[in-house]
Amino acid sequence: MNEITPPLKRRVLPGFWKRILIFLTIFGPATITAMADNDAGGVATYSLAGAKLGYPILFPLVIITILLGVTQEMGMRLTVITRKGLADLIREKFGVKVAIFMFGALLIANIGTLITEIAAIKTTSTMLHIPPIPFVMVIVLVSLFFVTKGNYKLTQGIMLVASLFYIVYIISAVKAHPDWGLAVTNLLYPHGVDMTSAYMRDFLLIGMGVLGTTITPWGQFFISSFAFDKKIEKGKINYSQMETYWGAFLTDFFSFFMIVATAATLYIHAIPLVSGEQAALAIQPFAGQLAGVLFAIGILNAGFMGLVIVSLSTAYAFAEFFGISGSLNDSYQKSKTFYILFVIQLIVAMAIALFIPLSLFKVAVFTQTINAVALPPVFYYLIKLTSDRQLMGEFANNKFQKIFSIACTVIIIVTSLFTVATIFIKT
């Protein structure tokens, strides 16, 4: 037992503390999934958004939090109640062809995501004067080691520690001396800038991009698989639901500071930014060297988290879709294919990102396109499965949940399709 699941045995606990302890036993999957949604690509997008649009781009965060919370909760509930992963259920209910299509889309999109993570790590490590290629290799090797050699608890522990590192963005934001009042009020309604039509167009586009990096197909599969691997008891479903909302809040809580850090410096001084990773360097003259270095460390940490979680999500989904053993608690011998798939993706992505001159922008667009194609079916199956009374019993979506989740899904899908469409029109 480690600090995450304290022993509940043979102890009499008062109600409140008991509930806290139960919460800690289920704590992990939702928080980690949500935090990994702010991967290196996410941080870059948020930084870019803050630099280009200032405080008003904080406004969409509230909506994103709600959308993320609602969609993640469905995945969590589905798994805790049925004791099967999302991919398991898609295969059983909708057959092998759907399974192959979904897995194909997930695999390609995830490799694209991994490439952008590695590219971000590369750019950032160069800024910190760390040799990029050895550094990326070390990160990949370290994650290989603890994922294959360790168990669920170790991986969860490491990922939770990585989640803590997002605190660096709070420090960076404070160092940037932002106008806190303006920042917070912008959460309620966008204001304080000159809303020209050009600004509005960028606002819409970047706002949608922000949504696209946060709500992803792999996030939906991962929360389900990770909760499955944790074997959360049905009786603790309330606590797990709470965790999904908490995770969604926490993610956007940190996103808030990422945006504030660049809005208070780069936007105010009208410094243009080509890519989000450069924010770490660009904010230094205004917020000081410490803020810049912390910002860069934050990106490295986010990239590391993204590499492990995204790669795991493919391996888990493969195991579920095609019925092989796949658990972090299994030995390498038992879940060979699962671990090999985890490794291969990282190696392929690393090879592409480090040695093939690719336009990062194109990779990002490509990835986002695949994600946009895969998201509608993912949500279609997710809502259909969570509304299935035979499967979910009393925990099936009620009318309100169903309508609300469909509405959220429609927003997400329209947004992601629209983003892709505009990129194609522009290029």
Partner 1 sequence: MAYLSEILGRPVIDLEGKPVGKLRDVIVRPWAEFPHPLIEAIAVERKNGVEYIPFAAVAALLSPVIPLKYRADEIPVCKLEEGDVLLSRDVLDKQIIDTDGARVVRVNDVEFVWVNGTIYVSNVDVSWLGIIRRMGLTSLANSIGGHLKQKGISWEDVELMHRDQSMQLRVPATRLHELHPADLADIVSDLNRLESGQLLDSLDVKHLADTLEEVEPEFQAELVEHMSDEKVADVLEEMEPDEAADLLGDLPKERKEDLLALMEKEDADDVRKLLAYPEESAGGIMTTEYASIPPDLTAGEAIQVLRGMADEVETMFYVYVVDKEEHLIGTFSLNNLIFAAPGQMVSDFMTEHLITVNLTDDQDTVAQTVSKYDLLAIPVVDDQNHLHGIVTADDALDKIIPTAWKKRLPRFYR
**Quick one: the chain helix, strand, coil %, rounded to 5?**
80, 0, 20
C-beta closer to partner 1: residue 7 or 181: 7
C-beta closer to partner 1: residue 83 or 177: 83
d(CA 368, CA 206): 13
Name the region of 131 (left: φ>0; alpha: ψ -120 to 50; beta: rest): beta
Nearest approach in angstroms of CB 99 to partner 1 is: 8
C-beta closer to partner 1: residue 96 or 403: 96
- Chain residues in the site for partner 1 (CB under 8 A): 5, 7-10, 12, 82-84, 88, 91-92, 95-97, 100, 150-151, 231, 233-235, 322-325, 329-331, 390-391
Nearest approach in angstroms of CB 153 to partner 1 is: 8
d(CA 358, CA 206): 23
Coil, helix or strand at residue 38 = coil
d(CA 269, CA 252): 25
C-beta closer to partner 1: residue 269 or 334: 334
d(CA 250, CA 61): 11
d(CA 309, CA 159): 9
Nearest approach in angstroms of CB 328 to partner 1 is: 9
C-beta closer to partner 1: residue 23 or 322: 322
Nearest approach in angstroms of CB 91 to partner 1 is: 6
Nearest approach in angstroms of CB 235 to partner 1 is: 8
- Dihedral angle sign, alpha carbons of residues 313, 314, 316, 317: positive
Nearest approach in angstroms of CB 88 to partner 1 is: 8
C-beta closer to partner 1: residue 88 or 117: 88
Task: Spell 318-347 as b/e; 16+ CB within 10 A means b.
Answer: bbbbeeeebbbebeeeebeebbebbbebbe
Nearest approach in angstroms of CB 329 to partner 1 is: 6
DSSP 334-390: TTHHHHHHHHHHHHHHHHHHHHS---HHHHHHHHHHHHHHHHHHHHHHHHHHHT-HH
Phi, psi of 150 (to 5 degrees): -85, -165
C-beta closer to partner 1: residue 155 or 262: 155
Is 231 within 8 Å of 20 (Cβ atoms)? no
C-beta closer to partner 1: residue 165 or 226: 226
Nearest approach in angstroms of CB 176 to partner 1 is: 44
